[in-house]
Amino acid sequence: APITVRDLAEGLGKKPNELIGLLMTMNIFAAINQVLDVELVEKICERHGVVFVRERREKGRDRDRGGQPGQENRIPLSVRPHRKVGRPPVVVFMGHVDHGKTSLQDYIRHSHVTSGEAGGITQHIGASVATVGDQTITFLDTPGHEAFTAMRARGANATDIAVLVVAADDGVMPQTVEAINHAKAANLPIVVAMNKMDLPAANPDKVLLGLQQHGITPRDWGGETEVLPVSAHTGVGINELLEQILLEAEMLELNADPDAPFEGLVIEAQMETGMGPTAHVLVRNGTLKLNDAVICGQCYGRVRALIDSQGRRVQKASPSMPVKVMGLSSVPNAGDKILACANEREARVLAEEAMQAARQGNLSVERMVTLDDMFSLLAKEEKPELPIILKTDVRGSLEAITDCIAKLKSDRISAHILHSGVGEISENDVVLAAASKAVILGFHVRVMPGVNRFAKQKGVDVRLYSIIYELLQEVEKAMRGRLQPDI
Ligand code: GDP
């Protein structure tokens, strides 16, 4: 039913008159039976530390009852105290190929992950849970920073902390820089694991210098970032690395509400013989329980079994826990959100709606962000920054253009180079731009084959220049906003 002043007061445990008084202070003069706007209800609930649970109505049932059109949008109210409980951090390893991401995770799996039941096989579920003292850390399997950002582009932000792996003998390499920029674009705190310290060729100073040159100042040099010397071969420093991750997590004050409606993220999904569609799910909020009805993109179902990272069948999964879910109607996509529903019927209706929307192409159209409308978009933000990805032909021009862009002044918007590099514009650049709503500027470079079409699909503006002045002029114009007359 729609929410009246009376309903809300009851939900908040207040007298109706108290609420009416409160509303008056917000310049809203409402009667006791007046229906309140959903957004307003949400705002008031938030202020009072209660969660407002929207339960979608089943369309079918409304129709059977001869309900009015529009009635399906009515939202029954249920409010309850908001409970905040600390949750384990979710961590992802990033870094240059061969620097030891896999080896480090394998080492942690062997030393800090208790193996499954006697005779049981540790399940591969796209993530693992390491135990450190009485705390745990969830490690997402690393598919590379491209895949990480592709997930983020879909609004699937699952990670809390990035562990940047740098081999001490090799130092900061091109993919290390990419990983740094992807992690920064996602606003993730970075902990550096300086790996392969057992090698005679290990050169910590070279690593620290390389990090410094790419905007990461090590703690030993007066900066913010902890750099921990480790070895995946000998195990040296791994405990310290895990403890640092927990410390970092503590500062983030990560929490979730185990009583909230379940919300999770599909990390991987597949069809398995004898099991049907299975999805590896990371719980973001609430608790996923056996027999829960769920909707997941265009799939739906009832949870028939939950299997944890140690291969055990469990009854429920709490925030930050990865689990394998069985009982879905089909195989969802990685990055899909999975949500609890009131019942399987509601889940099916919502899945059918999603399917229909997808057929009509409603979901595939992504909003194009161009240099032209950047200003009006950014003007709404508090501290507006124009995010740019810059690719050039040679290092000299890259440095020159970066310097000039830094000097461009506007009282409203500053330009921010999210990622830059020498070379052609790649699919990777587009993925990062899409996730960060950035524009791509190329100077004397080509776009790799097929990437132009990909950029169009993703709604990313790619602009190519051969004259520095023209590039700068366009950036400056974007910063000042076309809408304003040039003075
Ligand atoms: P990834 O590509 O980042 O996942 O790197 P891998 O974990 O596959 O490691 C690449 C190579 O480096 C492998 O041959 C590993 O055995 C080796 N390696 C990884 N960590 C260490 C280490 O701490 N010390 C030494 N000496 N070799 C390592």
* Structure confidence by residue, pLDDT tens digits, 416-473: 888 888 889 998 889 888 888 889 999 999 998 889 988 988 888 899 998 888 898 8
Q: Length of the chain in residues, anyone?
A: 487
Tokens of 293: 């009805």
Tell whether residue 141 is among the known ligand binding residues: yes
Element containing residue 161 per DSSP (H, E):
strand 161-167
Type of residue numbered 122: T
Tell whether residue 220 is among the known ligand binding residues: no
Give residue 229 CA to ligand 1 midpoint distance, Å.
14
From residue 352, alpha-carbon distances to 33, 346, 355, 363 in Å are: 35, 10, 5, 14
Q: What is the secondary structure of 61-96 as a DSSP string?
A: HHHHTTPPTTGGG-----EEE---EE---EEEEEES
Element containing residue 109 per DSSP (H, E):
helix 101-112
- Model confidence band, residue 414 (pLDDT cutoffs 50, 70, 90): confident
Q: Are 334 and 264 in contact (CB under 8 A)?
A: no
Q: Are 351 and 295 in contact (CB under 8 A)?
A: yes
pLDDT at 140: 87
**For 219-246, what is the mean pLDDT?**
95
pLDDT at 143: 66
Least confident span in 31-40, 64-73, 269-278 = 64-73
Q: Closest Cα to residue 56, out of 354, 303, 358, 336?
A: 354
Give residue 56 CA to ligand 1 midpoint distance, Å.
50
**For 387-393, what is the mean pLDDT?**
91
Give residue 153 CA to ligand 1 midpoint distance, Å.
30
State CA 46 to chain mean position distance.
Answer: 23
In the chain the first and final C-alpha atoms are separated, in Å, by 55
Task: Report H helices in 253-363.
Answer: 344-359
**Cross-strand bridge partners of residue 482:** none
**Residue ID of nearest Cα to ligand 1 atom 18:** 100
Q: What is the ipTM score, two decimals?
A: 0.99
- Cβ of residue 98 lying under 6 Å from some atom of ligand 1: yes
Residue 234 has pLDDT above 70, yes or no: yes
Tell whether residue 409 is among the known ligand binding residues: no
**For 292-305, what is the mean pLDDT?**
93
Tokens of 70: 């529009």
**Share above pLDDT 70 across residues of the chain, in percent, rounded to a whole number:** 81
State CA 304 to chain mean position distance.
Answer: 27
**Residue ID of nearest Cα to ligand 1 atom 10:** 98
Tell whether residue 362 is among the known ligand binding residues: no
Tokens of 365: 């159209």
DSSP reduced 3-state for 151:
helix
- Residue 282 — left, alpha, or beta (φ > 0 → left; ψ -120 to 50 → alpha)? beta
**Residue ID of nearest Cα to ligand 1 atom 17:** 100
Q: Give the Cα separation of 69 and 283 in Å (integer).
A: 35
- Cβ of residue 101 lying under 6 Å from some atom of ligand 1: yes
- Cβ of residue 103 lying under 6 Å from some atom of ligand 1: yes
pLDDT at 390: 94
Give residue 133 CA to ligand 1 midpoint distance, Å.
26
From residue 382, alpha-carbon distances to 39, 48, 144, 377, 483 in Å are: 22, 25, 32, 11, 19
Please enumerate in sequence order all residues whose Cβ is within 8 A of that of 380, keeping only pairs 6 or more positions apart, or say none: none
**Cross-strand bridge partners of residue 138:** 90, 129
Type of residue numbered 67: G
Instruction: Give every strand in the sheet of 462-465, ordered side by side.
Output: 414-422, 385-392, 439-443, 462-465
Tell whether residue 99 is among the known ligand binding residues: yes
Tell whether residue 195 is among the known ligand binding residues: yes
Nearest-atom index, ligand 1, CA of 95:
3
Mutate to test the pocket of ligand 1, among 98, 106, 164 (most ligand atoms within 8 A of CB): 98
pLDDT at 272: 87
Q: Are 176 and 164 in contact (CB under 8 A)?
A: yes
- Cβ of residue 424 lying under 6 Å from some atom of ligand 1: no
Give residue 199 CA to ligand 1 midpoint distance, Å.
11
State CA 23 to chain mean position distance.
Answer: 35
Residue 228 has pLDDT above 80, yes or no: yes
Q: Are 303 and 289 in contact (CB under 8 A)?
A: yes
Q: Are 261 and 311 in contact (CB under 8 A)?
A: no
Tell whether residue 7 is among the known ligand binding residues: no
Residue 60 has pLDDT above 60, yes or no: no
pLDDT at 239: 95
DSSP reduced 3-state for 23:
helix
Give whichever of 86-90, 339-343, 447-451 has the largest mean pLDDT.
86-90
- Cβ of residue 198 lying under 6 Å from some atom of ligand 1: yes
Give residue 203 CA to ligand 1 midpoint distance, Å.
16
Give residue 345 CA to ligand 1 midpoint distance, Å.
49
Residue 120 has pLDDT above 60, yes or no: no
**Residue ID of nearest Cα to ligand 1 atom 14:** 98
Residue 297 has pLDDT above 80, yes or no: yes
Residue with tokens 């699937």: 156
- Cβ of residue 143 lying under 6 Å from some atom of ligand 1: no
Give residue 220 CA to ligand 1 midpoint distance, Å.
25
**Cross-strand bridge partners of residue 111:** none
Q: Closest Cα to residue 331, out of 355, 358, 294, 297?
A: 297
Least confident span in 73-77, 278-282, 289-293, 387-391 = 73-77
Tokens of 81: 């105290």
Give residue 265 CA to ligand 1 midpoint distance, Å.
30
